[in-house]
Structures are given as C-alpha cells and as structure tokens.
C-alpha cells in the first residue's frame, strides 16, 4: 500500500488552503490555447468535496448571468495554478445540493462570523 502512496505523493500539493463546503473560493485555471496558455478564474461556493488520496475533487457552484453553473475540479490537478480562500461559510451539511433548487437570496450561504471577520 505504501508504494502506491509513494506514487501519488509526487502529485499531491501541499500549498492548498483548507477549505470546506460552503466556503467561497477562487480557482486559477491554466487554459492552453495552442502554444500559449493563459489563466482563467472560476469563483464560486464549494458545494461538495469527495474522494481520497490523489483522486480528491471539489465542486464549485456560481450563478452566472442568472444561470447556475457548476464545475468539478480534481484537487491536485496540475491545471489548477492557485486556490484562494475568500470567505468561510456557515453550513450544517457536507453536500450543499439544496442550493440547486433555490434562487435569489436563499441560494446563498451565510458567511461564518469569526473574530477576524468582525474587526473588518
């Protein structure tokens, strides 16, 4: 088993912020266009984290021009350049699929109020 972990270790990134369902994060994605590549940003609420080891993934949901958009990323994909944690959310479950049925203000996750946030 440990030899399998050794193979995965090479691809596992250490510098990923600790984020959970309900948090709002910003993902910098490398997009290749022929020979050149540029960075695209996808920002949204984390509605799910799943998997183990190298196969961990997370799903972001955002409302773009009134239409709900979800995108799933492999957590350790080399395509992801950077993940920024923008705010923590206050949620009571791990999978926020209930957001899909909701619209407007109800489709939002309340922000977690921490001492750090309050001083701002």
Partner 1 sequence: MNVIKAIIGKKLGMTSIYDENGKAIAVTAIEAGPCIITQIKIDRIDGYNAIQIGFGDVKAKKLNKPIKQHFKNKGIKPKKVLMEVRVNNTKDFKVGDIIKTSVFEKGDVVKVTAISKGKGFTGAMKRYGFSGQPASHGAQYHRALGSTGASSYPSRVFKGKKMAGRHGYKKVSALGLEVVEVNEESNVILVKGSVPGTKGRIVLIQDMGKRRGK
What residues line the site for partner 1 (CB under 8 A)?
A: 1, 3-4, 6-8, 10-11, 30, 32, 53-55, 74, 76-79
Nearest approach, Cβ of residue 116 and partner 1 (Å):
34
Give the list of residues 6+ apart from residue 93 with CB closer than 8 angstroms, or none.
21
Nearer CB in complex with partner 1: 57/87: 57
Work out whether strand 80-87 and strand 67-74 pair parallel, antiparallel, or are unpaired: unpaired
Q: Dump the DSSP string for 12-81.
A: --S------TT-EEEEEEEEEETTEEEEEEEEEEEEEEE--GGG-EEEEEEEETTEEEEEEEETT-TTEE
Q: Which is nearer to partner 1, 3 or 116 (CB)?
A: 3
- Our CB check for partner 1 shows the closer of 10 and 92 to be 10
Closest CB 32 distance from partner 1, rounded Å: 7
Q: Which helix (H) or strand (E) holds 8?
A: helix 2-9
Least distance CB 1 / partner 1 (angstroms):
8
CB of 75 to partner 1, least distance (A): 11
């Amino acid at each position: 088993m440990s030899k399998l972990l050794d193979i995965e270790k090479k691809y596992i990134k250490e510098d990923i912020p600790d984020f959970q369902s309900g948090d709002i994060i910003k993902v910098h994605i490398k997009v290749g266009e022929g020979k050149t590549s540029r960075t695209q940003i996808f920002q949204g609420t984390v509605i799910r984290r799943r998997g183990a080891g190298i196969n961990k993934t997370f799903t972001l949901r955002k409302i773009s021009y009134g239409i709900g958009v979800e995108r799933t990323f492999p957590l350790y994909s080399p395509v992801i350049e950077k993940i920024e944690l923008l705010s923590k959310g206050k949620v009571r479950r791990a999978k926020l699929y209930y957001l899909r049925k909701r619209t407007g203000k109800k489709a939002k996750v309340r922000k977690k109020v921490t001492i750090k946030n309050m001083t701002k």
